[in-house]
Amino acid sequence: MDFMPREASIIRTLVELADNLVEEYDVVEVLCNLSDRCVETLNVDSAGVMLASASGDLQVVASSSDAMRSLELFEIQANEGPCLDAFRSGEPILNHELLQNDLRWPRFTKRALDDGFHSVHALPMRLRGRTIGALNLFRISQGSLTANDVLAAQGLADVATIAIIQHRASLEAYELNDQLNQALNSRIIIEQAKGKIAESAKVDLDQAFVLLRNHARNHNLGLTDLCRYVANGTISSVSIDQFTPPTPRR
Amino acid sequence: MSDNTNRLTKILSLLATSQGSGIGGTPVCEVATHVTGCTGASIMLLSDDHSKGSLCRTDDVAAFIEETQYALGEGPSIDAYLSGRSVLAQNLRSLSVPHWPVFTPLALDKGIEAIFSFPVRIGAVRLGALNVYRSETGALSTDQRSDALVLSDVAARTIVSLQAYAAPGTLSQEIENGANFHFVVHQAAGILSEQLGISVQDALVRIRARAFTDDRSIDDVATDIVNHVLLFDNDLSNEDKD
């Protein structure tokens, strides 16, 4: 196939990231590759990835250079800058020129200019409406990224997002599968108890559910626990409180 | 570029561009049908060695395959889930060893001639099985089998990714949409256990048996019980006169 070098490199990155979905991989290594590839393929001088921890704090996970890494760390400490804004808003920050006496990020801008950077871009890493981090692209010279560069960068950020989420999913697969089964079993027990109460109280299934919820509340029992006792006969269906809904006030 | 990568890239792009709705709106069953050259597909969720229901299906026959295994507790998907290996029945009329004595004749009656099941799992974590069926006999190619395995892997990761977003103790809404977990059967079991003074477990057995003897789907029988259209006789010697 006859790709331009840049397209070839972007496709190589996509394929590497896709490959990592099926193979065992180190998520930090994947993101370091992504940062390096952004510098190679896009018109930027440094790239880095920040990811949110479980508590929602951003952490620097990968950087294409040490200067980039220390600037990103500074950004987190100063609690201001393009990456934080892209992460918090979920919106990209594109072609932001860094100028002295910046009012938006005064401390970040001074430090970035000292480090020799003159324009910044930050793309949110998003999937299904949730933002898990940001891809940061810094340039030494001023000037804009082309529309193609922006599209390519967002494409890389999207695939990295999928890689990370799939990685987290497989790390948590045991736990999540367990949660899924418990949730499903609890639903099954509730449906069984609803059937028993509907039959014994001669009400429909929705009303039976209201009776169960009301009884659980009155007797300080968990709904699933109560339903389990009803379904297995520990609590007789006829002993469930008969609930008369309060008459609404006029 | 590894073979697996090519395959995954192909599967992901098919999932992104195909019509249909499966797990979380992803057209997994449609793509499974396409890449295996089969007639239809379904994905079953299993736990504790039992089917818990269907996550998605392409058509009524695919739904029948899941429902029948749910009711009988035997069939290719249950075997794939239990063994962790692909179950390939390229000709249901001439299986080399006796397989699924009850399931197989029912499947043949429905026009299913070949059925293939693949475990849906992540490492040792077993979630269910992907089924594809064909209305003609014939084996899957190596390529088709490999595609099905990659698709099963994507399905497994999609399921746990979606459950990761669910509130604690609840089922992911995205998983539940389009799924059939046979809740009506459990409602009917509760009703029947009160009517007959038997345990819910025994009531489930009675509903399954009734569906089998009447040659009806278990969901249909359960719906009739819930609507009080179908009443059971408590006298087992005079079983189930309407």
User: Cβ contacts (< 8 Å) between A170 and chain B: which residues?
Assistant: 122-123, 157, 160
Contact status of B5 with chain A (Cβ, < 8 Å): yes
**Count of CB atoms situated within 10 Å of the CB of A231:** 26
**What percentage of chain A carries pLDDT values higher than 70?**
83
pTM to 2 decimals? 0.67
Å between B5 CA and nearest CA of chain A = 5
Phi then psi for residue B144, to 5 deg, are -65, -40
Task: Examine the domain organization and report whether A193 and A151 are in the same domain.
Answer: no
Phi then psi for residue B49, to 5 deg, are 65, 10
How far apart are alpha carbons A199 and B193 in whole angstroms?
9
Does A245 reside within a domain?
Answer: no
Task: Examine the domain organization and report whether A201 and A144 are in the same domain.
Answer: no
What pLDDT is stored for residue A1 in this prediction?
Answer: 36
Phi then psi for residue B208, to 5 deg, are -60, -45
What pLDDT is stored for residue B157 in this prediction?
Answer: 83
Residue with tokens 């397989």: B99
Task: Examine the domain organization and report whether A33 and A141 are in the same domain.
Answer: yes
CATH number, domain containing residue A188: 1.10.10
Domains by residue range for chain B, with CATH:
3-170 (3.30.450.40), 183-238 (1.10.10)
Task: Examine the domain organization and report whether A189 and A140 are in the same domain.
Answer: no
Does A247 reside within a domain?
Answer: no
CATH number, domain containing residue A34: 3.30.450.40
Does A89 reside within a domain?
Answer: yes
The model's confidence at residue A66, banded by pLDDT at 50, 70 and 90, is confident
Please determine, for residue B186, whether its predicted confidence score (pLDDT) is greater than 80.
Answer: yes
Which amino acid is it at A243?
Answer: F
Does A249 reside within a domain?
Answer: no
Average pLDDT of chain A? 83
**What percentage of chain A carries pLDDT values higher than 90?**
44
The model's confidence at residue B237, banded by pLDDT at 50, 70 and 90, is very low
**What percentage of chain B carries pLDDT values higher than 90?**
63
Please determine, for residue A97, whether its predicted confidence score (pLDDT) is greater than 50.
Answer: yes
Task: Examine the domain organization and report whether A70 and A193 are in the same domain.
Answer: no
Selected residue with higher pLDDT from A168 and B139: B139
Task: Examine the domain organization and report whether A143 and A191 are in the same domain.
Answer: no
Task: Examine the domain organization and report whether A98 and A217 are in the same domain.
Answer: no
Residue with tokens 């626990």: A225
Please determine, for residue B1, whether its predicted confidence score (pLDDT) is greater than 50.
Answer: no
**Sheet of B40-47, strands arranged across:** B50-57, B40-47, B125-134, B114-122, B87-89
Contact status of B207 with chain A (Cβ, < 8 Å): no
Task: Examine the domain organization and report whether A125 and A81 are in the same domain.
Answer: yes
Nearest CA in chain B to A17: B5
Domain boundary among A171, A186, A211: A171
- Give tens-digit pLDDT for B50-64: 899 999 999 999 999
Does A83 reside within a domain?
Answer: yes
Contact status of A193 with chain B (Cβ, < 8 Å): yes
How many structural domains does chain A have?
Answer: 2
How far apart are alpha carbons A226 and A246 in whole angstroms?
23
How far apart are alpha carbons B44 and B73 in whole angstroms?
13
Q: Domain range for residue A197?
A: 174-239
Domain boundary among A171, A187, A206: A171
Task: Examine the domain organization and report whether A138 and A24 are in the same domain.
Answer: yes
Indicate which of A1, A132, A164, A184 best probes the interface with B, i.e. most B CBs within 10 Å of its own CB: A184
Task: Examine the domain organization and report whether A159 and A185 are in the same domain.
Answer: no
Å between B49 CA and nearest CA of chain A = 12
Task: Examine the domain organization and report whether A162 and A52 are in the same domain.
Answer: yes
Domain boundary among A171, A196, A221: A171
Average pLDDT on A177-203 reads 93
User: Using H for helix, E for strand and C for coil, what is the string for chain A?
Assistant: CCCCHHHHHHHHHHHHHHHHHHCCCCHHHHHHHHHHHHHHHCCCCEEEEEEECCCCCEEEEEECCHHHHHHHHHHHHHCCCHHHHHHHHCCCEEEEECCCCCCCCHHHHHHHHHCCCCEEEEEEEEECCEEEEEEEEEECCCCCCCHHHHHHHHHHHHHHHHHHHHHHHHHCHHHHHHHHHHHHHHHHHHHHHHHHHHHHHCCCHHHHHHHHHHHHHHCCCCHHHHHHHHHCCCCCHHHCCCCCCCCCCC
Please determine, for residue B124, whether its predicted confidence score (pLDDT) is greater than 70.
Answer: yes
Does A117 reside within a domain?
Answer: yes
The model's confidence at residue A35, banded by pLDDT at 50, 70 and 90, is confident
| Inter-chain CB proximity B157 and A184 less than 8 Å | no
Task: Give residues 197 to 236 of A whose Cβ lies within 8 Å of B.
Answer: 197-200, 205, 224, 231-233
Task: Examine the domain organization and report whether A31 and A102 are in the same domain.
Answer: yes
| Inter-chain CB proximity B191 and A176 less than 8 Å | no
Task: Single out the residue of B189, B222, B224 nearest to residue B203, CA to CA.
Answer: B189
In contact, A127 and A20? CB cutoff 8 Å:
no
Contact status of B172 with chain A (Cβ, < 8 Å): yes
